[in-house]
Amino acid sequence: MMSGNYTSIDNQKVSGSVPSVPDPGHVTVQFTDSNIQTFPPSVAQGKISSGSKPPRDADDTFSKPVSSSDEPQSSGWFWTFTVAAYKPYFDVDTSDVLERIKDSLFPFRGTFNEKNSSNPDLYGPFWICTTLIFVAASIGTFVTYIAHKLEKKEWDYDINLVTWSAGVFYGYVTIVPLLLYVILKYFSAPSGLVQLFCLYGYSLFIFIPALCLSVVPSGIFRWVIAGVAGFMSATFLALNLRAHIKSAGERWFLIVAGIFLLQLALAVVLKLYLFTVTV
């Protein structure tokens, strides 16, 4: 009895509604949209994106590398004609270029492609070809000048040596890798085009000291220098491309032999054009 009465009284107290009295001193504050950053943020801020890196040795040579969002982006073939497409291939250190030049002077190792297939560069090949142009023109001019003076003949500077050297070296390091790229693609053994440019560019470095030694006024000595330089350069190309070209099938030996003989022919052309008339 007693517990039931207390229960009913408690229920009446609980269920009873008490009218609310508005507080005149209460001020309602409305918050505007919060500017507090949510976690995790939807977009990475204050974070440097990974730098552009050249692609690996693959058929798609000029594929668009990863770049920061502040650079203008192009699509399709237009990307190939932009400066940003070639910028990663000139982003190398002096130590890298010197190391690759040293590898080109030891052709029997055959490890150049293996070491540099993931990051080929065009900086070294460009300056090697440019240096060769001026060395060939200057050495050829100097040799002809000495020869004419010894024979007491009138000497005139031949500007064609510069244009001829530029055509030979720039043309060779551009056209030959392009043709090899097409041939390897035809035989289902595609190689990276930039990697071929890089390999051929560094293969020409040996001709710089060879041209400097050709100042010696001896026809036999010049032939020896041209032969040694051509053999070393051709061996460097053949050994570095042999492992990759083997996947082209049974005709891989003919391709390697063609690469070797063509590089030897370059050395012979340099000797005949620059120094034959002065011997």
Q: What tens digit of pLDDT does each residue of 213-265 get?
A: 988 878 889 899 999 999 999 999 999 988 888 877 777 888 889 999 999 99
Assess whether pLDDT exceeds 60 at residue 26.
Answer: no
How far is residue 82's CA from residue 80's CA, in Å, rounded to a whole number? Answer: 6
What residue type is assigned to position 144 of the chain?
A: T
User: Is the pLDDT reported for residue 115 higher than 90?
Assistant: no
- Domain borders along the chain are 51-86, 96-278
C-beta separation of 121 from 55 below 8 A: no
Task: Give the per-residue pLDDT at 196.
Answer: 92
Query: Looking at residues 7-20, what average pLDDT do you find?
Result: 47
Q: Tell me the pLDDT tens digit for each residue of 194-208.
A: 999 999 999 999 999
Distance, first Cα to last Cα, the chain:
138
Q: What's the whole-model pTM score?
A: 0.70
Torsion angle of C-alpha atoms 162, 163, 169, 175, degrees rounded to 10 = 180
